[in-house]
Amino acid sequence: MATTTAVALPGPRRVVHVDLDAALPELVADGTGTEALVVGRRDGYPVCTAGLTLTADPSDAARVLRALAASSSGTTPTAPAPVHDDDLPSVSVVVSTVVDRVEGLGRLLDALERHDHPEHEVIVVDNRVRVPEDDPLPALLAGRRVRLVEERRPGLSAGRNAGVAAARGEVVAFTDDDVQVDPRWLRALGERFVREPELDAVVGVVLPTELATPAQVWYEAYYGGFSGERSFEPVTIVPEDVPGAMRFARVAAVRPDGSVRRRFPVYGIGAYGAGANMAFRRTLLESVGGFDPTLGAGSPARGGEDLAMFVETLWRGGRIGFEPRAVVHHRHRRTVAELHAQLHGNGVGFAALLCALVARDRRHVAVLARLVPLAATAKARVAAAALFRGRGADHRRAADPTLPAPASTPVPRSLAYHELRGFPAGPSAWLRSRRRWRAVGAGRPLAG
């Protein structure tokens, strides 16, 4: 069993949002710790992040903030032209929940009621198999402009599909009950669909709400963001239409000027998107048949339903826009045990996702045979970079104190261990999940 003793426990980090074009705040070390994750914003939207070591002298932080503002000014994308309210698509926001995070769900619904979008609805899907006698949900929803949908079949995919079936909007956006959303989240999603009418989906940035525990700091460091290396550059994920078996198997992240930022296998789309912050045209969801009910939280497969939908979108020749102005804030798992369980579930879910894709379209077999070795090598590089990220940063900062510290820290090998050990369990988990879903459809008692 891997342990966390190889790496010292990190202290808490403040998450500080700074307007880079306004008077910079004075930041000093206090009782909340000496480290901070600075989220630099311009025009109300995040444009960069950087780690910051705080001291008792506010001028130390000021030098770093000024350097951050200067370095990000040349890379900040030009603000897009505004979109008129009448041109925005109607949006249905679907939140599927098992009501185990009541306070978080309440805060999310409060934020959605204040959203800057002229035509949107909020659909809460009660995805509990059984409802307790002391049910907190009715009181939570009382007086709110929320539509309640019940879906007693287990699994996040089933809940999301029930929300899609009830949705009236042209676009269906999804987030989770452990997430908080920026006030302009929906507008940013809708505006991107207007600017690029050929898009089938739009995904956005996920930032942490807090970095108060070692597990939260490590999760942020390991993933460099919610899924991949965090980026604030808008791109469009475009499948490469090459002849033969590899058609749409590789995709390109294309900048607004038409240049290619990077190319990668379609199965690596998780570097840009996650289920906590995604939106699809309702017509696309209906044509695909909804989220795969053999995948996702609440199923033995434990995850992968969001990535499966992204892959299916691109596999059909569709396009996905990455919109950094669409921002949500995720509360990472607070304990190391919860983090290990989550990472193990990520490994299980990804392997189960590949099984589900192959079952849907056998062409994935030939593609995976060619791409899996490359993908495994790339994953190993990413994991190694995360494990050693931040080491050696102290001498660089001493040489030039105006350099922002890395927005991450060395993490224990146990994180990669728990994720990687989930991969071999994925196929059997998917088979159990498929049997379970068939039992649900036949009205038989659930087993396993």
Q: Determine the 3-state secondary structure of 281 from DSSP.
A: strand
170-180 pLDDT, tens digit per residue, is 999 999 999 99
- Of 409 and 172, the structure prediction assigns the larger pLDDT to 172
The string of DSSP letters for 160-190 reads: HHHHHHH--SSEEEE--TTEEE-TTHHHHHH
d(CA 195, CA 191): 6
Q: Determine the 3-state secondary structure of 370 from DSSP.
A: helix
258-274 pLDDT, tens digit per residue, is 999 999 999 999 999 99
93-149 pLDDT, tens digit per residue, is 999 999 999 999 999 999 999 988 999 999 999 999 999 999 999 999 999 999 999
Which letter, b or e, does each residue of 16-41 get, where b requires 16 or more Cβ atoms within 10 Å of its Cβ? bebebeeebeebebeeeebbbbbbbb
Percentage of the chain with pLDDT > 90? 73
pLDDT score for 6: 62
Q: Provide the CATH topology of domain 85-370+419-439.
A: Spore Coat Polysaccharide Biosynthesis Protein SpsA; Chain A (3.90.550)
pLDDT at 359 exceeding the cut of 50: yes
d(CA 48, CA 36): 14
pTM: 0.91
Helix %, strand %, coil % for the chain, to 5? 40, 20, 40
d(CA 185, CA 325): 7
313-322 pLDDT, tens digit per residue, is 999 999 999 9
163-212 pLDDT, tens digit per residue, is 999 999 999 999 999 999 999 999 999 999 999 999 999 999 999 999 99
The residue-averaged pLDDT of 216-245 equals: 84
CB 105 within 8 A of CB 99: yes
d(CA 104, CA 231): 26
pLDDT at 238 exceeding the cut of 60: yes
